[in-house]
Structure 1
Amino acid sequence: MSRLKMLLIAATASLCAGIAPGLAQEVTLRVHHFLPAPAPVPKNFITPWAEKVMKESDGRIKVEVYPAMQLGGKPPALFDQARDGVVDIVWTLPGYTPGRFPGTEAFELPFMPAKAEPTSQAFWDFYEKYLTDEFKDVHPIAVHVHGPGLLHVKGEGVSKLEDMKGLKLRGPTRQTNALLGALGATSVGMPVPAMPEALSKGVIDGTVVPWEVTTPLKVAELVDSHTDFEGPRGLYTAAFLFAMNKAKYDSLPDDLKAVIDANSGREMSKWVGRVMDEGDQPGIAAAEKAGNTIRKLPPEEVARWQAAAQPVIDAWIAEVTEKGYDGAAMVEDAKAMIAKYADGN
């Protein structure tokens, strides 16, 4: 081999060595979720999170956000889209695939949640203790819940337990649907984007959702009454997951992994929980502007609902215990973890 050829090869190798690492460290992450972009979590968590990651990576991570299932599929497919690498990151509800993530349902049991911010911090602790195996096929960035859910119903609505009888109500998850049945209603499961049309067409009489989501979906225009519950714990909540494709995370160089790590965990869960809580206020204001009836059931009535709901908790404990979980311990731990953040205990 001539000396000139050897020099050319060496120069080419040197050039490649100089540019390859830079090229390898440029990455685009596509985030996919199910709500319109103006909804509180997309607007006030997902987009700011993306901007934070891009800034802290000096632009070497680019994040593209696709709301309202723009990349295809239905909301229940989101977890598998992240698992399979169809997209890089998703925001979804594990409960959209009933029974697949039984451990998460501890936080969805009746009268479990406090406000979303403390309950979401507790949910991250619970994930680290109990749910790492359930979510082993993805790389969780945050887990959280929404604020305490309540009833939004056409007509006179619900002022006592007996008013639930015969109502067709949309529920988001398996445990919430079980709760609605235990309270005397007929539960109709569907992802939240389908709910406004079902209300407008009379397929359902009402829905259970937090105040936060009523604003983007204009629920106050579709119902006449809203029923909440007095006391430190709400009727129900739903568990959410913000997670990344595992292989995509593993492929990142260490310094970019560090950026993702710095924007993952309990603090991110707390952040999105706070967004959920803050998102409740516009929903309440919209209901007031519409002239709807807003009521809170008093403690003595809430106690009747809690008694009616207890069989749902007992059934879940029995079911997951048969699957190898310690269901009773999980319920007690969930309560204690929530109390730690919500009550300062």
Structure 2
Amino acid sequence: MLAGGLWGASFAIAQDVTLKVHHFWPPGAMPPTKILQPWCDRIAADSGNKLKCQIFPAMQLGGTPAQLIDQAKDGVVDIVFTLPGYTAGRFPIMEVFELPFMNNSAEAGARAAWDFYGKYGVKEFPGIKPLLFSIHDEGYLHTRDKQIRTMADLKGLKLRAPTRQTNKLLASLGATPVGMPLPAVADAVSKGTIDGFALPWEVIPSVKLHEMVKFHTETDLSRPALYSALFILAMNQARYDGLPAELKAVIDRNSGAGLSQQAGKTWDESQAVGRKPATDRGNSFYTLPAAEVDLWIKASHPLYDDWVADMDKRGLPGKQMLKDAQDLLVKYRK
């Protein structure tokens, strides 16, 4: 009882802290509503309302999605929710989870990414305290005018990709990749700048992209997903370091491996909900059979060799790192 009283007293001494949180999604999208807001609610409750979030969606504080990671690093804001891969080539170690056909479980991917970060990725994020890593539900292809059924159907199509590795994947399959963050996709499709895009189901309804395309190509569930993108909830390290010990403890208790796993689980659960509006609209769906997926896997395999060679050049054990990432995904899929 006394310990509880002292704990409460320590919060009474601590100053109220409001954390400025910035992200690129529209306010009603799944990640800010189902992952970010519940996290903010938990740290508020756990701190006796001493620790609160002020959330700014849809780049309200200015800049581009690619600048979010530096907004956290430089202390422009306290926390960002973004993709490290929006800054191409800057976080090559953690890019291992964006290699094609690695995984088909966001929960397994999130757990594996957190562990892998602890072993290999810490030095890649100076000035930043990661609070979670996650990947999204399975990434698929969505096109405006043409159903993709074979690799040959990709030839000549301009397709949006979120990250460097997904750009490389689309190029290896014969498409013309166009790198762009999510907020730019709707305009690019409507103007015909791109023929389609690579995206998971979860995010599509929040930007009404199911209304701008007619065709969706998914992959046989017996095979890994076409691609994944890695997300981070990143806090300015100095801001964290400056918190009173009891508020640091609140952040620590509510972040890390557990938060990553929960985020991945939430992404997995969001897939059916995100797919439904396209079904209701009468859009056309095609599932690539396993034999066709295997052809795509073979065509994109050199990306693995490239990633390993890049790690080796940096003096890192590339082959072992790739194996560790794959082993972690297997471990957490069980």
Q: Do they fold alike, i.e. is TM over 0.5? A: yes
> Structure 1 length as normaliser, TM-score?
0.91
Structure 1 residue 287 corresponds to structure 2 residue 287: no
Q: What residue identity is the alignment partner of 2:95?
A: E
What is the rounded CA distance, in whole Å, between the counterparts of 2:308 and 2:155 in structure 1?
Answer: 26
Structure 1 residue 301 corresponds to structure 2 residue 292: yes
Measured after TM superposition, the shift of residue 256 of structure 1 is 0.6
Structure 1 residue 248 corresponds to structure 2 residue 239: yes
Structure 1 residue 223 corresponds to structure 2 residue 223: no
Match of 1:179 in 2: 169
- Deviation sequence 1:317-338 (CA, Å, 0-9, x none): 1122111222211211111101
Structure 1 residue 51 corresponds to structure 2 residue 41: yes
Listed as ranges, the matches of 1:143-222 within 5 Å are 143-222=133-212
What is the rounded CA distance, in whole Å, between the counterparts of 1:317 and 1:137 in structure 2?
Answer: 26
Q: What residue identity is the alignment partner of 1:138?
A: I
What is the rounded CA distance, in whole Å, between the counterparts of 2:167 and 2:223 in structure 1?
Answer: 22
Listed as ranges, the matches of 1:228-239 within 5 Å are 228-230=218-220, 231-239=222-230
What is the rounded CA distance, in whole Å, between the counterparts of 1:273 and 1:248 in structure 2?
Answer: 26
Listed as ranges, the matches of 1:329-340 within 5 Å are 329-340=320-331
Instruction: Judge conservation of contact 2:147–2:286 (CA < 8 Å) in 1.
Output: no
Q: What residue identity is the alignment partner of 2:137?
A: G
What is the rounded CA distance, in whole Å, between the counterparts of 1:326 and 1:169 in structure 2?
Answer: 33
Structure 1 residue 135 corresponds to structure 2 residue 125: yes
Measured after TM superposition, the shift of residue 261 of structure 1 is 0.2
What is the rounded CA distance, in whole Å, between the counterparts of 2:11 and 2:242 in structure 1?
Answer: 13
**What is the root-mean-square deviation in Å for CA atoms of aligned residues?**
1.5
Match of 2:5 in 1: none
> Structure 2 length as normaliser, TM-score?
0.94
SS in 2 for 1:133: helix
Listed as ranges, the matches of 1:91-106 within 5 Å are 91-106=81-96
What is the rounded CA distance, in whole Å, between the counterparts of 1:277 and 1:83 in structure 2?
Answer: 29
SS in 1 for 2:272: helix
Q: What residue identity is the alignment partner of 1:166?
A: G
Match of 2:54 in 1: 64
Identity %, equivalent residues: 48
What is the rounded CA distance, in whole Å, between the counterparts of 1:144 and 1:46 in structure 2?
Answer: 12
Radius of gyration: which is bigger? Answer: 1
What is the rounded CA distance, in whole Å, between the counterparts of 1:242 and 1:325 in structure 2?
Answer: 26
What is the rounded CA distance, in whole Å, between the counterparts of 1:193 and 1:113 in structure 2?
Answer: 26
Instruction: Judge conservation of contact 1:116–1:146 (CA < 8 Å) in 2.
Output: yes
Runs of at least 5 residues in structure 2 that lack an aligned partner in the other structure: 1-9
Runs of at least 5 residues in structure 1 that lack an aligned partner in the other structure: 1-19
- Deviation sequence 1:270-293 (CA, Å, 0-9, x none): 111122122211221111111111
Match of 2:250 in 1: 259
Match of 2:318 in 1: 327
Structure 1 runs of 4+ with >3 Å offset: 20-24
Instruction: Judge conservation of contact 2:223–2:290 (CA < 8 Å) in 1.
Output: no
What is the rounded CA distance, in whole Å, between the counterparts of 2:16 and 2:213 in structure 1?
Answer: 48
SS in 2 for 1:30: strand
What is the rounded CA distance, in whole Å, between the counterparts of 2:109 and 2:76 in structure 1?
Answer: 31
Match of 1:122 in 2: 112
What is the rounded CA distance, in whole Å, between the counterparts of 1:88 and 1:115 in structure 2?
Answer: 30
